[in-house]
Structure 1
Amino acid sequence: MSVPRGATVPGEAGGGDPVAPRGALAIVVAIVFVDLLGFGIVIPILPFYVRSFAVSDVFIGLLAASYSVMQFLSAPYLGRLSDSRGRRPVLVLSLAGNTAAWAVFGLAGELGDSFGLGVGVGTLFAARMLAGAMGGNIATAQAYIADVTPRERRAGALGLIGASFSLGFIFGPALGGLLASDPTVAVASDILPAVVPANRFSLPSFGAAFLSLLALLGALFFLPEPDRTRTSRRTTLVGQFREALADDDLRGLVVAFFLVSVAFSGIQVMFIPFAADVYGYDAAQTALLLTYIGVLGVVNQGVLVGRLARRYDEALLAIVGASVLVVALGSLPFSPNLGSVLPALAGLEGAVVALLGVLALLSFGNSLLTVSLTTLVSKRASAEGQGTAFGVTQGAGSLGRTVGPPAMAALYALAAYWSPFVAGALLVVPIVALLVGGARARGLLDPT
């Protein structure tokens, strides 16, 4: 899976840098953005959609977990498939699956009304599980970028994927709110055929399906297959993880992806309750905070990380990012206390200034760590095994996102409001240790 030290691989230093087909990088980043924009559309309505079936809020968490479990199972397989059959076919397949999944998701309410609660809820889960199974396309997109980008520019290029995530979460919810609004529903009811349901839950879902269809058409007509060596190795899911964990170059990275996903996904889920309970913020105010975080993510991952990577080694940047993340996570629940010693700024109370500052640190640390980890995976995997390596780390991240939210929610509810944030910080500490050990082994840090 990894490249022996001192060896060269096709398309890299010693064998010639990869040459991107004209515009390929921009096309694949645009495809990822459009697909994630569709995902962001449904975020505002998903909890209310579940509640419309008159079931427990537990189903909201289960629905999220069903997506992550399927992504965990499928991402390594799709990554390996992209190594053997090509990046473009796997992207096309996954985008087609996403289009179908969002369309079916929008029909769940009608099916529930016609055939009963069990069918409606079952349709919700079937659609989210299909979307999760297709969610491994991010690993394929990352592998595509690694195929067409020289090593020295890879961190900046991979950072654009992270920026696409952030942009999707900035514009997606706003578009979803528009599609779910009463005026939009009224217009759609007049225009659409009677057989197409038009309500505040179906329209955002159909909007997401339409955007996935656009991304699918973009991949079909504009995205070339990168020129690279393909592999035909067959390995089971367990076998892929076993190989990655046995590989000295990849073991720590797989563990790091899992731990940071447990920590960060749990914090993402519990941040809104924290903002409501500690700061008294309502939905509109927390939405502004999420937009603020999204904008920071675009700047950090789309601009800043790439510039830093041109001057510093990715392993060192990952150490800095993980260290900053430890401080930010541990400080977040105590931001009101930190704010008590800060002056008001631009009309904002000290507690709010502290919160915004800590969130800026959180975004910077997470961006630096995740992009650097992704770049390290790319550089330590062979040219032929990029998809497999990204699939395994994406799968580890998906497993972490399955574990993190319920664990952190339990800590928040049963222990103390600050406990999930402190637990998240403690989970990142071993990542710092792993990265420092790896950097020392490669002579990047003076052991004295």
Structure 2
Amino acid sequence: MQHGAPLRAGRAPPAPPGEPGRRLVLGVTYLLTALELTCLFMQFSIMPYLVKNLGLDSVGFGYLQTIFGVLQLLGGPIFGRFADQWGARAALTLSFVAGSGLYLLLSLATNVPLLVASRIPALFMHVLPGAQMVITDLTPPADRPGALGKLGLCFGVGVILGSLLGGTMSTKFGLYSPAYVAFVANVLGTAVSLTCIPANTKAASDPGPAASGKRPAASVFDLKEITRLLGLPGVRPVFFIKVLSGFPSGLFMIMFSIISMNFFELEAAQAGYLMSYFGVLQMVVQGLIIGRLTERYSEGTLLRASIVVFSAVGLAMASMTNVFHFCLLVPGLVFSLCTLNVVTDSMLTKAVPPSDTGAMLGICASVQPLTRTIGPTLGGLLYQRFGVAAFGSLQFAVNFLLFLYLCKKEVPQKTKRAP
């Protein structure tokens, strides 16, 4: 039987791993996520210099970033459907194969057409949602927010190591050296995914299409199946809260490099230290704080808290004048972002059948690419016309309205922990 292929009719699906195996699979999943995110931030660290060497200006760089965002936006829901139908192992393997293709093309990109072609595999590069699918399948609902939150440790490791290694290697060994290393790392990730992630991570009581012995009727490209999930009770309100609440801060982060240079007047090294500050705080919040909070408070309460803090940070951001003020606001901003993402992902996976959690997480994974696609243009207009204060004002207004909406809406209560 091929890896990740649906089982033939009449054959029993492989059982999900037991407790010792489950812990091992989760550990490997976190490791693979940290590996891929490190490679991704290594790539981000060299892209501006590579683009400049090939003769592209800032407009060309923006187009390249837009292509990457559009491909990720389109690929997220398709990747999620693929994971539901073929299993998490096949999905993670596909993501690492796509990553290998991207970094191989990037290492060969001595001209603009090859550089543009290197963006195409991004359509299926979705290790983070793939890891979320494995964690969602292998953890009970009550433990899910804490388990998903630990992915923040992986993200922090990726930000810090990727930025550090990318800059160091490109300086000492040449501009293309991070792409070579990332290619080898993704080939290794492909092998580990194939050997260490079980074909069936769904619960035995609901193995889903990937292990049921029958091919699903709908294709992974069926848009009706993807949009159907948004019509399920409890899905649409939470999803749109996820999109709207984090959108203003997403615009700010997209413009952060420009704001750091022009408004905060930071050098490149100082901006890097500020990004490391972000990474460390995200590791602490998602890895150590969110899991404990979910043990004591309902997801609805935490969702409200994240929106209240978002509003307060936005109000303060509208009046900040220097980088020291911003550093004081970063912990609140990181807490809100992390809590919003973890809690809404957990709530949405609980609102759909277990066989559709992959597709739901794939849709969630498209939120950030959507912001990256339309954000540069909208963020640039806001910054040019109204300055940095516009981002804080927008964040306050949007989240204050969302808080009023949540005050009138019933939200899920605390889930009892599994015995």
SS of the residue corresponding to residue 255 of structure 2 reads helix
Mark the CA change 1:207 to 1:247 in structure 2 (over 3 Å): closer, same or farther: same
Mark the CA change 1:442 to 1:280 in structure 2 (over 3 Å): closer, same or farther: closer
Is the 1:179–1:203 Cα contact (8 Å) retained in structure 2? yes
Mark the CA change 1:23 to 1:209 in structure 2 (over 3 Å): closer, same or farther: same
Q: 1:269 aligns with which of 245, 254, 261?
A: 254
Q: 1:369 aligns with which of 332, 335, 340?
A: 340
Mark the CA change 1:18 to 1:369 in structure 2 (over 3 Å): closer, same or farther: farther
Tell me how far apart the structure 2 counterparts of residues 430 and 106 of structure 1 sit (CA, whole Å). Answer: 47
Give the structure 1 partner of residue 159 of structure 2. Answer: 169
Is the 2:81–2:358 Cα contact (8 Å) retained in structure 1? yes
Is the 2:202–2:208 Cα contact (8 Å) retained in structure 1? no
CA-CA distance at 1:59 after TM superposition: 1.8
1:222 aligns to 2:196 (yes or no): yes
> Match of 1:283, as an amino acid?
A
Give the structure 2 partner of residue 5 of structure 1. Answer: none
Is the 2:232–2:351 Cα contact (8 Å) retained in structure 1? no
CA-CA distance at 1:18 after TM superposition: 8.6
CA-CA distance at 1:237 after TM superposition: 5.0
Alignment root-mean-square deviation, CA: 2.3
Tell me how far apart the structure 1 counterparts of residues 33 and 405 of structure 2 sit (CA, whole Å). Answer: 30
CA-CA distance at 1:434 after TM superposition: 5.1
* Structure 1, 381-390 or 290-299: larger mean CA deviation: 381-390
CA-CA distance at 1:355 after TM superposition: 2.2
Matches within 5 A, 1:133-152: 133-152=123-142
Matches within 5 A, 1:77-96: 77-96=78-97
CA-CA distance at 1:148 after TM superposition: 0.5
> Match of 2:128, as an amino acid?
I
1:380 aligns to 2:380 (yes or no): no
SS of the residue corresponding to residue 54 of structure 1 reads coil
Mark the CA change 1:40 to 1:443 in structure 2 (over 3 Å): closer, same or farther: closer
> Match of 2:118, as an amino acid?
A
Is the 1:333–1:421 Cα contact (8 Å) retained in structure 2? yes
Give the structure 2 partner of residue 393 of structure 1. Answer: 364
Is the 1:76–1:240 Cα contact (8 Å) retained in structure 2? no
Describe the superposition over 1:3-22 as per-residue Cα deviations: whole angstroms up to 9, x where unpaired: xxxxxxxxxxxxx9995634
Give the structure 1 partner of residue 148 of structure 2. Answer: 158
CA-CA distance at 1:363 after TM superposition: 0.8
SS of the residue corresponding to residue 54 of structure 2 reads coil
Tell me how far apart the structure 1 counterparts of residues 355 and 45 of structure 2 sit (CA, whole Å). Answer: 40
Unaligned runs of 5+ in 1: 1-15, 113-120, 186-198, 337-350
Give the structure 2 partner of residue 332 of structure 1. Answer: 317
> Match of 2:157, as an amino acid?
L
CA-CA distance at 1:85 after TM superposition: 1.0
CA-CA distance at 1:423 after TM superposition: 2.4
Describe the superposition over 1:180-207 as per-residue Cα deviations: whole angstroms up to 9, x where unpaired: 11xx32xxxxxxxxxxxxx31x112222
Unaligned runs of 5+ in 2: 1-15, 210-215, 415-419
Is the 1:41–1:175 Cα contact (8 Å) retained in structure 2? yes
Tell me how far apart the structure 2 counterparts of residues 416 and 237 of structure 1 sit (CA, whole Å). Answer: 42
1:122 aligns to 2:113 (yes or no): yes
CA-CA distance at 1:73 after TM superposition: 1.2
Give the structure 1 partner of residue 218 of structure 2. Answer: 234
CA-CA distance at 1:441 after TM superposition: 5.5
Describe the superposition over 1:243-264 as per-residue Cα deviations: whole angstroms up to 9, x where unpaired: 1332231102222333345323
Given the two structures, how large is their TM-score scaled by the length of structure 1?
Answer: 0.80
CA-CA distance at 1:241 after TM superposition: 4.5
Q: 2:386 aligns with which of 415, 419, 427?
A: 415
CA-CA distance at 1:372 after TM superposition: 0.8
Tell me how far apart the structure 2 counterparts of residues 413 and 283 of structure 1 sit (CA, whole Å). Answer: 22
Corresponding residue pairs, total:
387
Describe the superposition over 1:46-68 as per-residue Cα deviations: whole angstroms up to 9, x where unpaired: 11211222222112222222112
Mark the CA change 1:358 to 1:233 in structure 2 (over 3 Å): closer, same or farther: farther
CA-CA distance at 1:432 after TM superposition: 3.4
The percentage of counterpart residues that share the same residue type is: 24
CA-CA distance at 1:233 after TM superposition: 4.5
Mark the CA change 1:79 to 1:164 in structure 2 (over 3 Å): closer, same or farther: same
Tell me how far apart the structure 2 counterparts of residues 300 and 176 of structure 1 sit (CA, whole Å). Answer: 25
Is the 1:266–1:404 Cα contact (8 Å) retained in structure 2? yes
> Match of 1:230, as an amino acid?
G
Mark the CA change 1:443 to 1:374 in structure 2 (over 3 Å): closer, same or farther: closer
Is the 1:267–1:424 Cα contact (8 Å) retained in structure 2? no
Give the structure 2 partner of residue 298 of structure 1. Answer: 283
Is the 1:41–1:172 Cα contact (8 Å) retained in structure 2? yes
Given the two structures, how large is their TM-score scaled by the length of structure 2?
Answer: 0.86
Describe the superposition over 1:186-244 as per-residue Cα deviations: whole angstroms up to 9, x where unpaired: xxxxxxxxxxxxx31x1122222222222222212222232431222415453244313
SS of the residue corresponding to residue 366 of structure 2 reads helix
Tell me how far apart the structure 2 counterparts of residues 443 and 309 of structure 1 sit (CA, whole Å). Answer: 11
Give the structure 1 partner of residue 29 of structure 2. Answer: 28
* Structure 1, 265-274 or 364-373: larger mean CA deviation: 265-274
Is the 1:261–1:401 Cα contact (8 Å) retained in structure 2? no
